[in-house]
Amino acid sequence: MIEEGLIQELLDFHDKHNKQRIKDGKPPDYTKGVFQTLGFKEFHEYLMLSDEERNTDAGKKLLEQSIENMKMGTRRYARRQNKMIRGRFLEHPTREVPPIYELDTTDISKWDEEVKNKAIHIIESYLNEKPCEFTPVKSVIDDVKKGMDGNSHNYCEVCKRIFIGDNVYAIHLESFRHKKVLKKMKRLEEQRNRTEAETKISNV
């Protein structure tokens, strides 16, 4: 992405975006809405610099750090995608899903062999109801999930939501959304504790 001109694309978009925001009487902001997406938010501080500041050693260092942050963000996003696919399609005890196939896009020089031709064969075999020469990814469901009650009611005190079925509730407890709310609640609780402690000290 860097070699294909990502930085210049970001700068051009930043220039156009900010000019429009300034006309609308709004400050530049890459921390809300679509601008939080991967490839924008990692370069927020760099994009906020002036042209002169970007050409300084500090500006160049910030650019390098922004690129590294994007790489780390991409890896985290890929892990979340893999976890989501496993949770929804490969480890779900009651959901009926079609076969899931893995396409290896690591080596671009082998794209036709490992991705395009393989995908075409998988799709054609499915549409024509013919055997596929490739083996789908195996579904792995442990005994605990297999024995879960699909009609039970569970209430999440953290997210204030009701879930029908032990399996759905268990998946929710491992979800990114639930953990995010849990983390936020813990952070607020720590803030309250610090405030109370500071109040007691000041009263003494």
> Are 118 and 64 in a shared domain?
no
- CB-based burial of residue 112 (10 Å sphere; 0-12 exposed, 13-18 middle, 19+ buried)? exposed
Q: How many CB atoms lie within 10 A of CB 117?
A: 11
C-alpha gyration radius of the chain: 24
- The pLDDT score that the predictor gives to residue 145 is 55
> Are 83 and 2 in a shared domain?
yes
Between CA 44 and CA 7 the distance in angstroms is: 12
The answer as to whether 118 is a domain residue is yes
Between CA 91 and CA 15 the distance in angstroms is: 45
- What value does the mean pLDDT take over residues 142-167? 70
> Are 73 and 106 in a shared domain?
no
Question: Please, which pLDDT band fits residue 204 given cuts at 50, 70 and 90?
Answer: low
> Are 123 and 54 in a shared domain?
no
- The pLDDT score that the predictor gives to residue 93 is 61
The answer as to whether 20 is a domain residue is yes
Domain count, the chain: 3
CB 104 within 8 A of CB 114: yes
- What value does the mean pLDDT take over residues 40-52? 89
Tens-digit pLDDT profile for residues 160-179: 888 777 777 888 888 888 88
Between CA 143 and CA 141 the distance in angstroms is: 7
- Biggest alpha carbon–alpha carbon distance for the chain: 81
Residues of the chain above pLDDT 90, percent? 32
Question: Please, which pLDDT band fits residue 52 given cuts at 50, 70 and 90?
Answer: very high
> Are 84 and 52 in a shared domain?
yes
> Are 4 and 85 in a shared domain?
yes
State the chain's mean pLDDT as an integer: 84
The answer as to whether 36 is a domain residue is yes
Instruction: With 0.75 as the threshold, say if the pTM is over it.
Output: no
Tens-digit pLDDT profile for residues 10-28: 999 888 887 777 778 887 7
Distance of CA 70 to the CA centre of its chain: 12
- The pLDDT score that the predictor gives to residue 142 is 57
> Are 82 and 120 in a shared domain?
no
pLDDT score of 148 more than 60: no
- The pLDDT score that the predictor gives to residue 121 is 96
> Are 154 and 76 in a shared domain?
no
Tens-digit pLDDT profile for residues 68-122: 999 999 999 888 888 888 777 777 666 677 888 999 998 989 999 999 999 999 9
The answer as to whether 142 is a domain residue is no
C-alpha separations of 165 from 3, 92, 112, 140, 168 in Å: 48, 12, 43, 19, 5
Tell me which residue has tokens 């009263």: 203
Q: Which two tokens stand for residue 171?
A: 């998946």
> Are 119 and 47 in a shared domain?
no
- What value does the mean pLDDT take over residues 190-199? 82
